[in-house]
Amino acid sequence: MIPTRDEVYETLCVRHTRAVQEKLAAGRVAVAGLGGLGSTVAVALARAGVGQLHLIDFDRVDLSNLNRQQYRMKDIGRYKTEALREIIGEINPYLKIETDTVKITAENAKALFTEEDIICEAFDQAVEKAMLTDVFFEELSREKMLVAASGMAGFNSSNLIRTRKVNSRFYLCGDETNGLESGGSLMAPRVGVCAAHEANMILRILVGEAEA
């Protein structure tokens, strides 16, 4: 027997306080890219009880992803959207999880992000990160917020990773320096630190904290 919806919610209220939990439960967040950043952000938000998550990725789980992404060996070959939906369902089955197994492009981005208040950029490639930022400021409603990430490769100091408020709608997490281009590999701890920065900034926005 799994716990009921009420039991899960009331337990989260005891942990986080009811005032905070009501805001998290009303949260609507899109996660763009479900790799090391996105899968980790999504799991953190699900554990916190964020009510509505929109998970988007075109790719399937590969063995090489298991060094840092939240997937399991049994997920190899499955779409990341479907594997992550299952993982989250085993943590909290009462959240509203939407998935889109598509590649996000400048053309389809506007239509994909109609419902969510906060968009988490969690792509792998610098060009994709910049593309989503551009579409966000060109086409999306000024009510929406973007939390993005840049610079988390290698095993440099965790303390170089920070959250920076670029402007009133745009937060950037990472060290902004160490990328794939500089030869560093992506590893679970530092990608996880950066993902936690993104997830925490999203929680802060949901509860009404605007500072980084």
Partner 1 sequence: MTIEINGKQENISENMSLAMLVEAKGYELKKIAVELNGEIIPKSKYESCFLSEYDTLEVVTFVGGG
Rule CB under 8 A: say whether 191 interacts with partner 1.
Answer: yes
Residue from 9, 113, 123, 171 in contact with partner 1 (CB under 8 A): 123
Rule CB under 8 A: say whether 192 interacts with partner 1.
Answer: no
Rule CB under 8 A: say whether 12 interacts with partner 1.
Answer: no
Half-sphere exposure of 120 (CA within 13 A, CB side): 37
Q: What is the dihedral of CA 177, 180, 182, 187, to 10 degrees?
A: 80
Residues in the interface with partner 1 (CB under 8 A) total 39
Q: What's the rounded Cα separation, in Å, for the pair 170 and 103?
A: 22
Cα-to-chain-centroid distance, residue 49: 14
> What would the two tokens of residue 42 be?
């999504």
Task: Classify the C-alpha dihedral 23-25-26-28 as positive or negative.
Answer: positive
Which CB, 19 or 142, lies closer to partner 1? Answer: 142
Q: Which residues contact 107 (CB under 8 A, 6 or more apart)?
A: none
Residues 19-38, one symbol each (x = binds partner 1 by CB under 8 A, - = not), give --------------x-xxxx
Rule CB under 8 A: say whether 138 interacts with partner 1.
Answer: yes
Which CB, 14 or 180, lies closer to partner 1? Answer: 180
Residue from 84, 88, 153, 193 in contact with partner 1 (CB under 8 A): 153
Residue from 155, 180, 209, 210 in contact with partner 1 (CB under 8 A): 180
Rule CB under 8 A: say whether 210 interacts with partner 1.
Answer: no
Rule CB under 8 A: say whether 124 interacts with partner 1.
Answer: yes
The window from 7-15, 73-81, 83-91, 118-126 that contacts partner 1 (CB under 8 A) reads 118-126
Q: Which residues contact 43 (CB under 8 A, 6 or more apart)?
A: 70, 84, 87, 88, 91
Cα-to-chain-centroid distance, residue 39: 7
Rule CB under 8 A: say whether 64 interacts with partner 1.
Answer: no
3-state secondary structure of 55: strand
Which CB, 17 or 177, lies closer to partner 1? Answer: 177
